[in-house]
Amino acid sequence: MELGDEAFVREEYAVAANLYARLANKKGKRAPLRLLEKTAQCYRETARFAEAGYWYMRMIEHPGCPSSIMAAYGEIQKNLGEYDTARLYLSRFNPANADEVRWKNMAIAGCDSALLWKKDTVATYALENIKELSTVGDDWVSGVVKEGLLLESNGYRKMALTTGSERNPDMDPRVNQPYFKPYLFREYAPGSRANTFLEEILPDLLGKLPFHVGPVCYNNRKDTIYVTLNADNKDMADKKKKGPVNGRRLMSLYWSFRKGDQWSPLAPVTTLNVAGSYTGNAVLNSIGSIIYFVSDRPGSIGKMDIWYSERQANNQWGTPVNCGPVINTRYDETFPTINEQDVLYFSSKGHPGMGGFDVFRAEGSAGTWSQPRNLRSPLNSGADDLGFIMKGNNYEGYFASNRHGGGGGDDIYHFLETHFTEKLTDPDAGKPPVPAPVPDNTTKAPEKTVADNTPRKPVLSPTDSAVVHKLQELRFHYDYNSAILLTESREMLDRVAVVLQQYPHWKLMIRSFADSRGTDEYNIKLSALRCYAVIDYLIKKGVAARRLYYENLGEKELVNPCGNDVPCGETEHRENRRTTLRVVYN
């Protein structure tokens, strides 16, 4: 118990969890509440939600269990996405003061919202776990540069990268994983990760630094880099005084300047750092005039807050200012990113959400912001969702999550959604409009009509009607378990793009399908990726994203009897692996 307590005070939660769990299992039903709670908290701090839930449940079964454990167990169930169970236990929590009442109400409301947001979300985004970038550790995207993606990871250090590997990297005792390092993910083939590789960022400058290194942030000219590092590059743990472990709170911002091919030695950004407080995770606005960062310094509204500083006439940073109560809460706000001009994305535990860290979006600058909007499911989950990055096309991006179904820790996810920002204000936005029927060109006797003010659907000329008919007859097929466009499909889409340029008021609904092999959920996701293979190709041919809608229909609407467990040949299955088009001209 003494060894566990010493590790716990130093925030070495992985070490403490092992010691506490061994002792609690040995004591069985005689294990005291204090021991069970510390065991649960260790697993919670290391985001091992299922294990934490087990220990909280043992507390609930214990005589004299305090009401607050009901709240803790309810939160864990939110992390696991079990919102009905979470709501039940949160309702059993008896708050002792007004702040706790507000928290309870917000937590229960988050369960209700999550259940609503999860409905029908699988079919509204093309979302995939990038398995080749996700390790058993924690990995996330911190930014986009011309060369590729900036990554932060503790799982790549043992890999044989182009810049070498480490056989025995130093371990962070908080989570029993290596310390973090920054990496660059280069992607050579657009739309394909067949020709890719990882490399360390500035290994000569950052490669030999101890403890956590990163994330990093470049200015637009890439001649200045900001790096989050342990203060003074020293182990901040004072094991005699049982002080905080290295890097948890005492991180600082450093910078380096490039002259030619050489980078200057790293130096602390003195105007931004505060002794004894965390300062890190920096990001610049689009023109480099404001830097945002995370800190728990005096003056914070809650725990970790997002702060900003404005560039001065002498090119130095001004006095840091808190981003204010619209952004920051009594809880943690972190992982800020700027993806669109004057739009801030960040993760928060204090705004109403689905559980853990949720990603939010707010428009504004410096200390003036719109009310943050939750990105909802499937971009948010009950677990921790963070590091939200959009590419410049504003319909494709990345985020990290330790949600159920991943490969361990924080995994990197890739998403596509042409109507992304519209859906934040209107969940029904982006749903494909009902297409007008293609007129029958056969001659009919004129019918008498009664005058009214109902808007008339446009009547297509015989020529335009024929064009619509030809577009809607096209079929784009795929290889098994693939969303890569075949050569013949690309050639057909070239002609489709030309037609859409000739008819600028027409919109297109892309409908994609899978064959019956595989689970229903997997086939829905695969057909979504097929939709976006077509959408991405058309956008690169000059078609505006707002004109493109999609339906990912999985194994629905099979064109032959090859359903589940029906023996069919590959030619028959191929007929069902298809994308079709539907023209919307009203």
Q: Are 506 and 543 in contact (CB under 8 A)?
A: no
User: What average pLDDT does this structure show over 394-410?
Assistant: 84
Task: Read off φ and ψ for residue 40, nearest 5 degrees.
Answer: -60, -40
Asked if the model's pLDDT at residue 245 lies above 70, the reply is: no
Q: Give the tens place of pLDDT for each residue, 99-116.
A: 899 999 999 999 999 998
Asked if the model's pLDDT at residue 388 lies above 90, the reply is: yes
Q: What sign has the CA pseudo-torsion 19, 20, 22, 27?
A: positive
Work out the number of other CB atoms within 10 angstroms of the CB of residue 227.
24
Confidence category of residue 243, pLDDT binned at 50, 70, 90: very low
Residue 87 or residue 528, greater confidence: 87
Asked if the model's pLDDT at residue 446 lies above 80, the reply is: no
Domain positions in the chain: 2-118, 126-425, 462-584
Query: At which residue do the structure tokens 């669109």 appear?
Result: 340
Q: Which fold has domain 2-118?
A: 1.25.40
Q: Give the tens place of pLDDT for each residue, 9-45.
A: 888 899 999 999 999 999 998 999 999 999 999 999 8
Return the pLDDT at 242: 47
User: What average pLDDT does this structure show over 412-430?
Assistant: 78
Q: Give the tens place of pLDDT for each residue, 194-239.
A: 446 888 999 999 988 888 998 999 999 999 999 999 865 555 454 4
Asked if the model's pLDDT at residue 539 lies above 80, the reply is: yes
Return the pLDDT at 389: 92
Q: Is 126-425 assigned to CATH 2.115.10?
A: yes
Q: Give CA–CA dist 122/120, Å, rounded.
A: 6
Say what the pTM is. Answer: 0.81
Helix or strand run (H / E) with residue 471: helix 462-473
Confidence category of residue 121, pLDDT binned at 50, 70, 90: low
Residue 550 or residue 253, greater confidence: 253
**Superfamily for domain range 462-584:** OmpA-like domain (3.30.1330.60)
Confidence category of residue 406, pLDDT binned at 50, 70, 90: confident
Q: What sign has the CA pseudo-torsion 366, 371, 374, 375?
A: negative
Contacts for 110 with CB less than 8 Å, ≥ 6 apart: 78, 352, 353, 354, 355
Instruction: Classify residue 26 as exposed, middle or buried by CB count within 10 Å of its CB (0-12, 13-18, 19+).
Output: exposed
Asked if the model's pLDDT at residue 493 lies above 70, the reply is: yes
β-strand 507-512 against 548-552: which pairing, if any? parallel
Return the pLDDT at 239: 47
Return the pLDDT at 231: 64
Domains 2-118 and 126-425 share a fold: no
Return the pLDDT at 122: 57
Instruction: Output the CA angle 164-169-175, nearest 5 degrees.
Output: 135
Return the pLDDT at 194: 47
Tokens for 51? Answer: 């294990």
Residue 417 or residue 369, greater confidence: 369
